[in-house]
Every structure is written in C-alpha cells, then in structure tokens.
Chains A and B, each alone.
Chain A
Amino acid sequence: MNNIQEFSKEIKKGNKRFIAKAITLIENEDKQATELINSLYEFCGNAKTIGITGPPGAGKSTLVGELVKHIRSLDKTCGLILVDPSSPFTGGAILGDRIRMPELTNDSGVFIRSMGTRGSLGGLAKATRDSVKILDASGYDYVIIETVGIGQAETDIVQTADAVVVVSVPGLGDHIQTLKAGIMEIADLFVVNKADKDGAPKTARELRLMIEMSNYAVEERPPVLLTDALSGTGIPELFTKIEAFIENNLKSGKFESRRKEQLLFEIQDILDYNVKKYIKTKIDKDFYKSKVEEIFNRETTPYVVTEELFNILLNKGE
C-alpha cells in the first residue's frame, strides 16, 4: 500500500477504489488499517448510521435498496455495508445482497460493500465499525448496515448504529419468539415488511402488543410500520420516522449519550480483542494440551492452571 497520508487523502476525497482497499485492510486485520483509522478519526462522526436487521428472507436488502433510493432522491449520499453469514466449515460465502439493488451500483452517490461474517475472534463487530468510519470520513451522509438478526455478534453490529430497524414479516411465528428473547430491546423502529401479504396487520398488532408488555418507557416505544419493499410502499414514511427518531435524540441529548455508550463498548471490545490476540501469541496449543492431561489426571485443577497461565501472561513466574 502507498503511504497512509496519501491513502487517507484519497478516502477523504471519496475515491471509491481507496475506500474499498481500506475496507479490505480492515477485514484482513492488517496493521495498516489501524493506522489508517487513526489518521482519519478526526474526520469521522458526521454520518448518521442506520442498522437494519431481521431474519433471512425478510426483505432487508430489498428494503435497504428502496430506502437508499429514497435518500438519494433527497440528494443525500449513502454508504452501505451488507453483512451475510460465512460458512462456518469453509469460511467461504456467497454474498448476494447486491442482487436486490442493481441500480445503485451505477449511482455515484452510493458505495456498497458486501461482507462475510468470517467469524474469527469475534472481530466482525470491529470490522463493521471500522468500515463505517471509512465511509463516514469519505463524506457519506448516511451509512446503512444490514445484518441477519440471529446471534449476539449480529446484534452487536447493529447496536453501533444511531438508529436500529428490526424487520419482521407476516407468518414468522418463530421470529416473534426470538424477538422476545432479546432482539426486541435493540429496536428503535419495527418494520413489518411484505405488507402486500396476508397477515401483515396481524403481525403488526402482535408486535405492538409485545412492545407494550416489554420494558420500553411509554414515550420510547418504537413505532411499528408496514412496508412493501417490492413496490416501495411505506419507505418514505419509514425514512421520516428514522429521521424523527434521530432528530429527537439529538434534541434530548440521547444521541450523544448513546454514542458515548457505544464508544465505551468499543474500547472495551478492542481491548478484549487485543487481549485475546495476545493470549494466542503467548500460550501455544501444546501447552494447553499438557495442562489438560494434568487436570484430567487430577494432578491439578482448572483454577490452579488458569492462575498459572495468568501469571505467564503478566510475565510473572516462569
């Protein structure tokens, strides 16, 4: 790579090739990515970020495509990060979200990047966060992150956004159950997509009921909106609600406190990540193996061993 100064200059100019290369460095956990983020950091913080999550097939990508078209009609620019699961067995992935938004590829005011979850060391949230920073520094007005809402890793990702939209569809009883189990709390707005299908109003009613029974304060209850992403019905209304949510938070100070909470999470997360990486370099697999033998034979205990390992990490003891 060229030098960092040159690189960050091109990114600030919005040079897509450099933006793309930067995201690759981030994804590959290259050291230069960190330098790049550091040099761009003072130029970040202006983009509004929107997280979109929900079960596979709910129509998230279609909806994102329509949302971006709407945002573009208001003369604002958009950076997109579309996350899809990698195969846990091979690490490979087919990333097909672009299929749902083919027109956007030719739009100079849009940048789209597909990402596999890869899943090493839980670095995904970090990679998304940092990619958002690149798009932010490049001057995009909005950055939208799409993830499949299943696991903790995915919810961690969307929680880095200023506004989180959870997408449901009619006739997914199970999905409503998973909402109860935790995804519920991360939503700032709910969307029932595929409103053209039977059962959409019923799903919306069920959602509203659940919201009423959950821990949201009355004035903070997320709205439930109906969309038909195929025709674009309900998309302008969705965007208006997202904007209103962010606007209100800006006025009330919640926007700032939320970002500060996210920063706290971020530094803890990076620290966590670095510690894990450090442990990997300090203690090799064979050492673990021999310790497992000793513990198995009751010569020592898991606690004694971890204490010992901890001392090695702190460079005390032998």
Chain B
Amino acid sequence: MSERKVRILVAKPGLDGHDRGAKVVARALRDAGMEVIYTGLRQTPEQIVRAAIQEDVQFIGLSCLSGAHNHLFPKVTSLLEESGADDIIVFGGGVIPSDDIPFLKEKGIKEIFGPGTGTDKIINFINSLCDE
C-alpha cells in the first residue's frame, strides 16, 4: 500500500532567463509518472534547498545556462548538508563544459547531463537510484 512516489524538484538557479530545457525535462519526468515540483526562474540556492526540504523530494535537478554552475551547484549541496538533508540527490544540466564535471562531482553533484541529453537517460538515472 505505502508505495513511495518519486518527487523531484526541478530548479533554475542563477540569472539566466531560459527555462525551455528545464520544462522539457519536467514534462518528461511527469510523463514517467513522477511528481515534479517546478519553482520557476532565478532561484537562489537557499530557496532551492528550502523548497526541496518542504516538498520532501528525493532529487533536485538543477539547470543552469548562465555559466555560474561552479558557484551555484556546490552551494546547493553544501546548504543541503548544513540542513541535514544531504540524502537528497542532486544532478545538473544546462551548458556545462566537460572540464567542470569532475569538480562538480567532487562537490556532491551526482551526475551532470550535457546539452542534448535524451530525457530517457535522466529517467533511467533516477529510476536506477530509486531501486537501490
């Protein structure tokens, strides 16, 4: 009876004003049966973490096109840790140079999906972690 539904926060930190990619991902996740909490543009890491805690999501998907990912993504993971919520898995997407990926992973970002990643890849990623 008590089956846990996947809940996931899709957030856009930073100042860029494009959320087409984030919306495509959100819709794909919904179509895969997940509950996607979408918080809109220009969210601060504090807002993202607070929303994630109140919504009790298992995942946070961050999309960043502004180039500030090296600052913003680690800020999210460190705030999660401070709040005792580092069981929430964070992944990212957007325009992220592959050179930055090792650094981001070191900072606790579980996976980075580059531009043009198929949404099924993201869904598989989430499902495989849920099965663990």
Residues of B within 8 A of A30 (CB): 2
- Count of chain B residues near A, Cβ 8 A: 33
Residue of B nearest to A91 (CB): B33
Contact present for A31 and B2 (CB under 8 Å): yes
Contact present for A95 and B1 (CB under 8 Å): no
Interchain pairs with CB closer than 8 A, number? 93
Residue of A nearest to B46 (CB): A106
Residue of B nearest to A79 (CB): B54
Q: What would be 19 A-B contacts, judged by CB atoms less than 8 Å apart?
A: A19-B54, A20-B53, A20-B55, A20-B56, A24-B4, A25-B2, A92-B33, A92-B35, A92-B36, A95-B37, A96-B40, A98-B37, A99-B39, A106-B44, A111-B54, A113-B54, A114-B37, A116-B35, A118-B5
Contact present for B5 and A28 (CB under 8 Å): yes
Residues of A within 8 A of B56 (CB): 20-21, 23-24
The 8 Å CB contact of A92, one of B30, B46, B51, B55, is B30
Docked CA distance A25–B55 (Å): 12
Residues of B within 8 A of A112 (CB): 51, 54-55
Docked CA distance A17–B52 (Å): 10
Would you call A86 an interface residue if the criterion is a C-beta within 8 Å of the partner chain's C-beta atoms?
A: yes
Would you call B106 an interface residue if the criterion is a C-beta within 8 Å of the partner chain's C-beta atoms?
A: no
Would you call B127 an interface residue if the criterion is a C-beta within 8 Å of the partner chain's C-beta atoms?
A: no
Contact present for B47 and A99 (CB under 8 Å): no
Contact present for A94 and B40 (CB under 8 Å): no
Would you call A29 an interface residue if the criterion is a C-beta within 8 Å of the partner chain's C-beta atoms?
A: yes
* A28-B3, A95-B35, A118-B5 known; A102-B54 Cβ under 8 A: no
Would you call A16 an interface residue if the criterion is a C-beta within 8 Å of the partner chain's C-beta atoms?
A: yes
Docked CA distance A97–B90 (Å): 22
Residues of A within 8 A of B96 (CB): none
Contact present for A105 and B32 (CB under 8 Å): no
Within 8 A of A (CB), among B1-58: 1-5, 7, 26-27, 29-40, 43-44, 46-47, 50-51, 53-56
